[in-house]
Amino acid sequence: SMQRRLNRMLNSSHDHKLLALVDVKGFDPKEVTVTVKDGKVKVLAEHEEEHTTARGKEYNYRNITKEIILPPGVSKDEVTYSL
């Protein structure tokens, strides 16, 4: 279950503080961008699909944007992330 996976992640990173968990299921890792700037962590995931149908081309576009403010005293150099 998602809760058990989350608990395992929290326990495995006990020396590090988990600031956020963003669900990017359905996105390819190369479609996910993480930037740290101005005291914020920004997660952007974008996916675009193009289909050719009898009526022409159809596009399917999905995106997720999440901004997390860094806690006081945490510098951008301390931020790590993984997919």
Domains, in order of start, for the chain: 2-72 (2.60.40.790)
- What does the pLDDT read at residue 30? 94
Q: In angstroms, what CA-CA distances link 73 with 37, 49, 61, 69, 78?
A: 14, 41, 37, 12, 10
Using a CB cutoff of 8 Å and minimum separation of 24, what contacts does 58-66 make?
62/26, 62/27, 64/22, 64/24, 64/27, 66/20, 66/22, 66/42
Query: Does residue 51 contact residue 57 with C-beta atoms inside 8 Å?
Result: yes
**Predicted structure pTM score:** 0.68
pLDDT tens across 33-79, in order?
999 999 899 999 999 999 898 989 999 999 999 999 888 888 888 88
pLDDT given for residue 14 in this prediction: 46
Q: What local confidence, expressed as pLDDT, does residue 81 receive?
A: 84
